[in-house]
A and B are shown apart, each in its own frame.
Chain A
Amino acid sequence: MRVRVVAGVLCGALATVAFTGCGIPERSEVQIDERREPATEAGSVSAWSKEPPSPSNSGTDSEAFVRDFLSAAAGEPDRAYDRVKQFVAPEFKSRMQDKRGSEVELTVVRLTDAPVITNNVDRSAAVTISVQQVGVLRADGRLVPPVSTETTYEFGLRSASPAGTADDGGGFYITDPPNLLLLSDTALRDYYEPQAVYFWNSDRTRLVPDQRYLPLTVPTERRLNEVVKWLVDGPSDWLSTGAVGLPDRTELINNATGGNGRWEVNLDMPGDDRTRADQFVTQLAWSLPDLDGKLELKVRNNSIVVADLAERRSRALYTLQEGPRRYCVYEGAVHPLEIAGEPGGTVPLDPGANRNVVSAGLARSGGKILAALVVTGSDGQRLSVGTGPDPVTAFKKGPVHTAIGRPVWLRAAGTEQPRGLVVAGGRLYRFDQNAQMTPIALNLPPAPVNAVAASLDGQRIAVVVGGLLYVAALNLAGGGVTVGPPRRVATSLTSISAVDWGDENRLIVAGSAGRPAIYEVSVDGAVQTPLKDDTGAKVTHLSTYPVNPTIPVPSGAFMYEANGVAYRGSPVEQIQRGEVGLVTPPPSGVRPGNPSAPFFLY
């Protein structure tokens, strides 16, 4: 009997094993392969110290609280509303309609006065801030021109302590807040880092800088990702005339990642253009000057380019042969300036042409000298243009104008068809090597053009029209010069008289801030720094050598003329007569003239 039972059990077990043992089971035990290392090191805490202040930061200082409120939106846009709402009284929080993602916009304003805080009897206060609209900071770091024209914002302030308690130790709450995110220009300066990104010009020969703002809270590792996104999104609107982005429908696949000298960008780019990809890497290399190591660019997971970023940057961004040389006009002729510690120069002009000069614009281009001189004649002023190897001998004369401003050469035009811009009689002209002057229409309300300046890349100009400062992109295709829609640069300077480029994205602007002054203003107007608070008189002539990575010089290489006296900066010093080189001593009794219209040759 037992034998049968055992046999039955065995058979049953065998059958069970046979039917369940073979084949993939319905559910198996959890099988542990290996243990992965725990999470990597915690995030870089340093970035978080750049967080905008919290409501409790200001204590009992209501004005500081208002200023903190105007800084609260700074940082990563995702949580901008959260940060701002910490300042807002609970009953008003619902008033602010949250926006998410790319819709978040920060209205950047410049306080023209300290906030006016009027205390009421019920321990609340009314706050009025007078502002200048600077622009709208978008989630993608662009500061676009302002849409609002408000000059004041009003909102309330109340103690955060419950009613009836005397002290203000609990801080404040904003009541009745404006339904937008305000950001002061100082907060933009404090909590953002201006970042230049580069786009190719239309014929893909030069890189054009574009100004963006990156919150300081963004960790270093994500910087590449943000920059790639910006590059994929294309240049700012005002630059689109002169610069092009990546092909349409180009997208970044997930994030650009990397670390330890190895970076990876995966794009979804239509077409299989290896040159474009290569150019994109160059763009990236210049847009992230601090990033070193290898960058691998993939297009739809296929590795297209692997390049060393530092090696990409070893090629010059700008075609500059040598450092700047200072010149001025002295006694109706162009003379070099001999400043101690700087190399002097010779006059690259035929002495026969170097006469009756009022102002001059010289430039080097591929071994040649481009020379545009404003000379006076009996009937007025003319443009005298000559190109050629040093010294330039052949000059052609242009039409007569009553007054011609300093001519500027457009470096992007190249050697074959050199072109320049000049203001004559309140209008903007372009001129060529034959001194032909063609008026250029600006898409602006009619007003006299005061000054023009071309950037180092030659694709952008700054132009002063009616005392207001504008920037615009150029399109030089087909031998012509087309000026894109100008963008107003918000600055607190008024009655602007002269402008030139201080670096890739900054302008040196001379105007009036109550008194005549020279400011350094970012190309979007967000940041302005006084360089010279009081020039004593209106600056009529301003010239700079822009700070650039190709041939760097100490910053602040600018010279100006005010009230007939030439100065150089900074620090600002008057250009002495003795500093003018190659001067034959004047006959005695004749009162020597002053050096005027200083400019740089580079």
Chain B
Amino acid sequence: MASSPLPPPDTATARTRGAARELWRAVAGRVARTAAGVHRTWRRSLQFRVVTITLVASSVLVGGFAYLIADKITSILLESAKTDVKLRLESGADYATKQVALYNQPQEAQLQETIEGTVNYLAGGDPQQTSGVVVVITAQDFPVIQSRTAPAVDGVQRLISPELREAVADGNVASQIATGRLTGERTKYLAYGSPVPTRFGQIELYYLVPLARQDATAADARATVVATGVALVVLLGLLAALVTRLVVTPVRVAARTAQRLSAGLLDQRMVVNGEDDLALLAASFNQMATNLQRQILRLEEMSRLQRRFTSDVSHELRTPLTTVRMAADLIFAERDGFDPAVARSAELLQAELDRFEELLTDLLEISRFDAGFAMLDAEPTDLVPIVHRVVERLTGLAERVGVPIEVDLPEHEVIAEVDPRRVERVLRNLVGNAVEHGEGRPVVIRLGADETAVAITVRDHGVGLKPGEEKLVFNRFWRADPSRARQTGGTGLGLSISLEDARLHGGWLEAWGAPGQGAQFRLTLPARAGDRLTTSPLRLVPEDARLPYGGPGDAAPLTIGPAPGGALAIGPAPAREPDAAGAEVPS
């Protein structure tokens, strides 16, 4: 009582349910995987898509037509059988009517004989030669009259359904298809019944005609139609696959060729076969590739010529310049003996020659970059001394313009695989620019490093950059204000060269600026030469920079409201009057 040897049925049910769930899960998983695979193929393969759509569409269409045709054939067969049987039935009913019209009462013995004779006569007399047609006369309303069947077979009652009996007993000529076994095989029969009026009431005549032949014909027709339909669908699928293949293959070739072209293999071309649309596509593609290649080569050539020209001009200018320089140096050294106005000219000549030399040097440097001759001479270098060196060198200038230089460097050394000459040049350029645009406010140099990268930012608090100028500053000979006269010895190429130096390291040189807030430049270099940069140890936007709308302040609430022109405006919420708020507090 306390314990049962059998597990309670609930457990078994639960186990079964669990197993079923497992099975379902497995099946569902498999189905889902298959579906996912199919879906993937569907998305990727145009051919698969076209073939599938063709198969589905043609299946539906062909299936519909096949159904219609098979149905039509069947109904025609059935109709003709029905018409035949109906004609027989009508003449049979007429005959039977005449035969039984001689009798006034259902009890008459001769009536039974007459019914038997009639049935035999209508069935064709010779039971050996019947075509399977069974003729039955029943008398629903007169139990005294026995049903007669010719040829005598059993099971007729099962073939004549009660509904049919009722319909015929009601005085209707009615038919029904029924299936049953009369002679040997199970066969479909068309049971057709007609009332036979007599003098004493009504008896019923039935013809049971086997539909075996019609059934076989219908099955044959159906099989033929289905086979034809399947063949058609398969053919259409194959055709679609073939046609799609014809289209898809050149497209794939074109795609591959385009990929190669984009990868720089400009001499890749498609094979042109024939004169069709695909050939036109290939030819056009090839023409496009050729044109692109030509254009690219021309541009490259032009660029090369230009760079060469620059380099040549620089070199060519250097020789006369050296001579001029020597003469100028001489004049400069003797200026004290000149008329003050001439001495002033000698000084000017000396200064402009300095600038000229600088410009030539920068141009040569640039042309070296352009020509791809710039080589990185990387070695593990401590950046801190470099920063110090640059600051020292520029201290004089800074003092002259009244700009203090602040340096924020780590305590320890910052080692990176860099070219120290180039890094120094970049820093010199950035700090020089910051001092130049410092407007008397301090310039801050900050050095940061992490495991993968080192970064140096140079911050000034001058007029800053207008939006969009962050990119322009790196252009060659670019000026923020073209009308402004160049005061210092900037050639307009410094930032371009710095950018090229940074790139040569695989590093970044970026600029930030805002009007009235000054600007900040950040140089980020990989700690090991050849590494890819992902982040920078220092921020590009300085911490003290204000947001464009003034910033939210110290966690002050923001307000979002309508702005002119249907836009949304975001700004600081109006401050509450604390007193007013306090006054509202009930005392």
Binding site for B on A (CB under 8 A): 14, 17-18, 21-44, 47-48, 76, 78-79, 100-101, 219, 221-222, 225, 253-255, 257-259, 264
Contacts and interface: CB of A to CB of B under 8 A. Distances in A.
Interface stretch (B210-218, B332-340, B369-377, B522-530): B210-218
Contacts of A26: 177, 179, 188
B114 A40 contact: no
B163 A22 contact: no
A102 to B, nearest CB: 11
A511 B160 CA distance: 69
Nearest to B118: A254
Nearest to A38: B171
Contact of B173 (A14, A34, A257): A34
Contact of A47 (B93, B104, B121, B172): B104
B552 interface: no
Interface string B441-458: 000000000000000000
B37 interface: no
Contacts of B172: 32-36
Interface in B59-103: 63, 66-67, 70-71, 74, 77-78, 86, 93, 97-99, 101-103
A341 B167 CA distance: 71
Given A33-B86, A79-B107, A254-B118, A22 B71 contact: yes
Minimum-distance CB pairs A-B, first 3: A43-B104, A257-B98, A39-B197
Contacts of A27: 161, 176-179
B70 A36 contact: no
A385 B78 CA distance: 82
Nearest to A27: B178
15 contacts: A18-B63, A23-B74, A23-B219, A30-B175, A31-B174, A32-B174, A35-B172, A39-B200, A43-B104, A78-B109, A221-B101, A221-B102, A225-B102, A255-B102, A255-B114
Contact of B117 (A37, A38, A253): A253
Contact of A33 (B102, B109, B164, B173): B173
Contacts of A78: 108-110
B102 A222 contact: yes
Contacts of B173: 32-36
Contacts of B222: 22-23
Given A35-B172, A79-B107, A254-B114, A25 B177 contact: yes
B257 interface: no
B433 interface: no
Contacts, number: 132
Contacts of A41: 199
Given A28-B177, A48-B104, 15 more contacts: A21-B67, A21-B71, A23-B219, A24-B74, A24-B177, A29-B176, A33-B86, A36-B173, A36-B195, A39-B201, A39-B202, A101-B109, A255-B98, A255-B117, A257-B102
A21 B63 CA distance: 12
B190 to A, nearest CB: 9
A48 B199 CA distance: 14
Contacts of A25: 177
A551 to B, nearest CB: 35
B102 A23 contact: no
A44 B199 CA distance: 9
A78 B93 CA distance: 26
A47 B200 CA distance: 15
Contacts of A18: 63, 66-67
Nearest to A45: B104
B381 interface: no
A412 to B, nearest CB: 36
Given A24-B211, A255-B99, A219 B104 contact: yes
A14 B70 contact: no
A40 B101 contact: yes
B149 interface: no
B531 to A, nearest CB: 50
A161 B541 CA distance: 140
B101 A257 contact: yes
B198 interface: yes
Contacts of B118: 254
Nearest to B202: A39
A259 B101 contact: yes
Contacts of B211: 24
Nearest to B178: A27
Nearest to B111: A78
A22 B70 contact: yes
Nearest to A77: B109
Interface in B135-190: 161, 163-164, 167, 171-179, 188
B194 interface: yes
Contacts of A258: 98
Contact of A219 (B70, B102, B195, B215): B102
Nearest to B97: A40
A27 B214 CA distance: 15
A14 B67 CA distance: 10
B67 A30 contact: no
A36 B174 contact: no
Nearest to A257: B98
B102 A30 contact: no
Contacts of B105: 43
Contacts of B218: 22-24
Contact of A30 (B101, B176, B202, B215): B176
Contact of A40 (B109, B171, B178, B199): B199
B194 A36 contact: yes
Given A36-B194, A221-B101, A257-B102, A24 B174 contact: no
Nearest to A258: B98
Q: Which of A35, A44, A48 has the most CB of B within 10 A?
A: A35
